[in-house]
Amino acid sequence: MDKPVDLPSPPTAEQRPYSYERHGVTIEDPWHWLRDPKYPDVSDPDVLAYLHSENDYFEGWKGQHEGLIDQLFDEMKGRVKEDDSSVPIRDGDYLYWWAFRPGAQYRSWYRKAVAGGADEIIFDEPVEAEGREYFRLGALEVSPDGKLLATLADYDGSERFELRVRDLSTGKDVETVTKVGIGQPVWTSDSGGIVFTEVNDNWRSYRARYRRLGRPTDEDVTLYEETEELGFSVGVGKTHDRTLILISTGDNTTTEVRFVSADDPSQPLTLISPRKQGREYHVDAAHGELWIYTNDDHVNFRLAEADIASPEDWRTVMEGSDRVYLTGVTAYRDHLAISSRVDGLDQLLLRTYAGDETLIPFDEASYSAFFMGNPEFAPESYRLGYSSMVTPMTTYDYHPESGELEVRKVQEIPSGYDASQYATERLMVDVRDGVQVPVSVVYRKGFEKNGEGKLFLYAYGAYGHAIPPVFNSNRISLLDRGWACAIAHIRGGDDLGYRWFLDGKLTKRTNTFNDFVDVAKGLVAAKFTHAGGIAINGGSAGGELMGAVVNSDPELWGAVVADVPFVDVLNTMLDDTLPLTPGEWPEWGNPITDAQAFAYIRSYSPYDQVKAQDYPPMLITGGLTDPRVTYWEPAKWAAKLRATKTDNNLLLLKINMGAGHGGKSGRWDRLHEVAETYAFMLTQVDG
């Protein structure tokens, strides 16, 4: 497809002298002024003028390709069931589910008495979102007696959620508990109180609070406040048997958990085990025992049990394994539901308390499977989710007595989808330090591996988050245009175990970038594509990945899409006044106190490493209210690229002025942004 040739000259951001010195090194940052000192109130007229000029430039490009964008949007929307709904799940006396009304951007939430009766709408997101540029439901919890509903909602993308309590008999909100909540609220056993977490001015979840409904707010009790570790965040939860409320604190590598009776959270908390640097542990309870999985003596975690009366005495139930990586444990009445990953593939295991184990079988060579939606302590069956690169999301109920996997729902593609027309492969690519990195690839049958094809390559590679090889109906718009699509399961995620995560962080961070480049070269060698025929995409820390590899190997990429990219790494990690910086040091290092961390981060920080060279076409996005990757990171990066690069390739910056880290919130608005991304790739990648 032709590239645009008649856009006006792109915007430029002026350079204003600014420098600082750290560890004997002077850093020049002439675009520092793009950070409004009044943030999060962005009101500087020069900053806003630049952002608007970039958005206008993006809109100019978009206007040239409106037909293609609309076509892609219509294709993608045609694969979405407009009145989609979830499979009802029982919780006590009710069945609960969500559903979309035709045309609606947001879900509506329903319930129905198990004994029979009419459907009851308990929360209507379209009504809540009406007239708002942004709306996101963060949590929804019905009280144990079924009479009250607690919701957390974000109205501007800032990730400060209002916690409200609604009387389900009237549909009216009876209390606003906090306007700076986050996470999941937890009800007391008697439905008369709620435990919740709040964020401070730096967006860090720093304390757990307890409110007795109907009481003055000054009677709210702080159950726990994190004061020792600047980077730790606090969360609350409830054990699956609903007897204990859990209050956890930790960062990306270290956790500490306390508990209190759900009958009376005002009682003193019990500490399970004091924090130890680098040790994680996660807790559930059943039959008077705590069930704990932890990485204290094996990197891939072991499963242990402990008496509630002596919670620090952990007895091993399942030893840690080099091959089996434990990723989750939920304690039900009859079974421990254990999630793990073996050779990068999900495994779901049911273990009785007598030690008998049943592995739930799946046939495909590459897939994703997970336990889901089992709120009751003693379910008759276990709800599962399953998908692969060619298999739409499928909801199962697994019946342990018979071993039957009952299909409850298969993701419907209204415009039609024939899985037999597509093929998927799982490759192992040798990278430069001798490690093999898995890659999941999907393509339409008939795709020729002759080195002439186009490839869309995606990765994340941070925080131990694996990218599962799941079905994505949007992807069909590329597959049916002759593209192959791939996911690189690079280090930094935990795709191949916790060690895989450790080998892509801190002083090993560049493994992540090298893995991605070497995977791309491996796919070129395997004749899936050629240098310049690859479109790449990543967001947040994955956007940092995009910035690093476009600096190091620009000739490989035909187009780059970096969503809310964490690219100003050095400056952000040096600024402990920013909301989330202290909590990020265990992932990236602390360049304030550590000269080696400073030098290493500077060596790969995408913003700092922009150089005078040709860059491929690039689309960069950001969000004005984003608290995770502040808007000035993509803005500064785009400005520096414009001033430094030696090519005439298209560079677009789009800043969502009313959204945060996740982009726009409605399902059709989000889909339109995907269509823009795909149109950019399709129009920029040469044949």
629-662 pLDDT, tens per residue?
899 999 999 999 999 999 999 999 999 987 655 5
What is the pLDDT, as a whole number, of residue 665?
Answer: 63
Q: Would the pLDDT of 129 be above 70?
A: yes
Q: For 163-172, how does the pLDDT look when each residue is reduced to its tens digit (9 = 90+)? A: 999 999 999 9
Does 240 score more than 90 pLDDT? yes
pLDDT at residue 112 in the model: 97
Rounded to whole angstroms, the Cα distance separating 244 from 238 reads 6
CB contact set of 401 (below 8 Å; sequence gap of 6+): none
Task: Please name the residue that has the structure tokens 């991605």.
Answer: 516
Instruction: Write down the pLDDT at residue 156.
Output: 83
Q: In 3-state terms, what secondary structure has residue 162?
A: strand
pLDDT digits (tens, 9 = 90+) for 390-411: 999 999 999 999 999 999 999 9
- Cα Rg of the chain, angstroms: 25
What is the per-residue pLDDT for 157?
79
CA–CA separation, 518 and 526 (whole Å): 12
CATH 3.40.50.1820 placement within the chain: 1-64+550-687, 416-530
DSSP 407: E
| Share above pLDDT 90 across residues of the chain, in percent, rounded to a whole number | 88
Q: What pLDDT digit, counting tens, does each position of 99-126 carry?
A: 999 989 999 999 999 999 999 999 999 9
Architecture in CATH for domain 416-530: 3-Layer(aba) Sandwich (3.40)
Look up tokens 């790449």; give the residue: 536
Reading the block at residue 515, the tokens are 């893995």
Six token digits for residue 390: 């060619």
Q: What pLDDT is recorded for position 481?
A: 97
Burial 551-581 (b: 16+ CB within 10 A, else e): bbbbebbbbbbbbbbbbbbbbbbbeeebbbb
Q: What is the mean pLDDT of residues 180-207?
A: 93
Position 574 pLDDT exceeds 60 = yes
Q: Of 666, 679, 675, 684, give the one whose Cα is nearest residue 130.
A: 666
How high is the mean pLDDT of the chain? 94
pLDDT for res 235 = 96
pLDDT band at 4 (very low <50, low <70, confident <90, very high): very low
- Give the torsion through C-alpha atoms of 311, 316, 322, 323, to 10 deg: -100
Kindly state the greatest CA–CA separation across the chain: 73
Positions marked catalytic: 540, 626, 661
Is 687 a residue whose pLDDT tops 70?
no
519 versus 628: the higher-pLDDT residue is: 519
- Determine contact, residues 569/605, Cβ cutoff 8 Å: yes
- 101-114 per-residue burial string, b: 16 or more CB within 10 A, e: under 16: eeebbbbbbbbeee
From residue 594, alpha-carbon distances to 191, 597, 602 in Å are 49, 5, 12
Q: Span 117-143, mean pLDDT?
A: 93
Domain covering 1-64+550-687: architecture: 3-Layer(aba) Sandwich (3.40)
Q: Is the pLDDT of residue 577 over 50?
A: yes
Alpha carbon separation from 12 to 28, 32, 54, 240, 651 (Å, rounded): 18, 14, 9, 55, 12
Residue whose entry in the numeric block shows the structure tokens 């339409």: 444
Angle at 149 between CA 148 and CA 151, to 5 degrees: 155
Helical packing angle, 667-684 and 66-78, nearest 10°: 130
The whole-number pLDDT of residue 231 equals 79
How many CA atoms does the CB half-sphere of 202 hold within 13 Å? 16
Provide CB contacts within 8 A for 220, sequence distance 6+: 209, 210, 211
Element (H, E) at 255: strand 255-261
Q: Start-end ranges of CATH 2.130.10.120 in the chain?
A: 132-279
Asked if residue 534 has pLDDT above 60, the reply is yes
Question: Which positions ≥6 away from 137 have C-beta within 8 Å?
Answer: 106, 107, 123, 125, 128, 151, 152, 153
Residues 296-317 have pLDDT tens digits of: 999 999 999 999 999 999 999 9
Range of lowest pLDDT (2-6, 345-349, 575-579, 637-641): 2-6
CATH code reported for the domain at 132-279: 2.130.10.120
**Closest C-alpha among 521, 607, 621, 626 to residue 569:** 607
In our burial notation (b when 16+ CB lie closer than 10 A, e otherwise), range 512-525 reads: bbbbbbbbbbbbbe
